[in-house]
């Protein structure tokens, strides 16, 4: 989704890793945010960032700290501190710190990202390993969807082939028991074979 509150050429040059998300992962994500004390309004705002707002990302597809002010204004958070406090309670995002040894606070946060857009690193993800492991496998979902589509297509083709084969068997029987010239019969067999080949493609 494109954000209307800001304009940035970045949104035209970067693309997400996937346009699909597993619904079970999304539900677990929302449930964990709700458990962390986020309101419905805050969850909606964080979902916008999670699904991806390229106008607020840099070329590495990170939400860097220089753009936090734009995010705060665009999504109408009370303040930068309020936004970061909510963000740090949201499992599923990846966090990049200026200094890993220092406390993970507003001042120490250099950038954050969503695994839908940026390749996630286990050490950047929060403290919920079960949820984060499912979040980190989001990008293969699109491949799984392609596999399912191909499987459905093959099933449909097989069903068509079964119906056509059944029809042709009856048709061949009628032709074989009638006085149709052999040339015409051969032509019909060739045409039916070509029809099968076209259906498989």
Non-local (6+) Cβ contacts of 56 within 8 A are: 3, 6, 8, 49, 63, 67, 70, 71, 74
- The predicted pLDDT at position 146 comes to 45
- The predicted pLDDT at position 144 comes to 44
Quick one: how far is CA 138 from the chain centroid?
Answer: 7
User: What are the tens digits of pLDDT across the range 102-137?
Assistant: 888 888 899 999 999 988 776 656 544 444 454 444
Non-local (6+) Cβ contacts of 17 within 8 A are: 115, 116, 117, 118, 119, 138, 139
Q: How many CA atoms lie within 13 A of 21 on its CB side?
A: 18
User: What are the tens digits of pLDDT across the range 19-46?
Assistant: 887 888 889 999 999 999 999 999 999 9
Residue 108, CA distances (Å) to 31, 75, 124 in order: 27, 22, 14
DSSP summary character for residue 37 = T
Which of 122, 125, 153, 144 lies closest to 18 in space, CA to CA?
A: 144
Element (H, E) at 190: helix 182-200
d(CA 75, CA 42): 9
Average pLDDT over residues 169-196: 61
- Residue by residue, DSSP assigns 123-180 as GGB-S-HHHHHHHTT-TTHHHHHHHHHHHHHHHHHHHHHHHHHHHHHHHHHHHHTTT-
pTM: 0.58
Provide the β-strand partners of residue 96: 111
Non-local (6+) Cβ contacts of 37 within 8 A are: 89
């Amino acid at each position: 989704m494109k954000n209307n509150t800001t304009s940035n050429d970045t949104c035209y040059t970067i693309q997400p890793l996937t346009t699909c998300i597993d619904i079970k992962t999304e539900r677990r994500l929302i449930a964990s945010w709700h458990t962390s004390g986020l309101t419905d309004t805050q969850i909606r705002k964080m979902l916008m960032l999670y699904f991806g707002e390229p106008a607020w990302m840099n070329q590495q597809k990170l939400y860097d700290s220089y753009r936090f002010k734009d995010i705060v204004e665009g999504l109408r958070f009370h303040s930068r501190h309020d936004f970061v406090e909510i963000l740090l309670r949201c499992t599923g995002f990846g966090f990049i710190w200026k200094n890993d040894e220092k406390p993970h606070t507003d001042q120490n946060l250099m950038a954050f990202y969503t695994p839908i857009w940026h390749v996630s690193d286990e050490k950047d993800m929060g403290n919920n390993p079960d949820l984060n492991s499912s979040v980190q496998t989001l990008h293969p979902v699109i491949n799984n969807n392609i596999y399912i589509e191909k499987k459905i297509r093959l099933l449909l083709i097989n069903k068509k082939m079964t119906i056509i084969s059944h029809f042709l068997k009856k048709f061949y029987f009628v032709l074989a028991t009638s006085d149709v010239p052999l040339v015409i019969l051969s032509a019909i067999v060739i045409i039916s074979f070509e029809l099968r080949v076209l259906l498989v493609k």
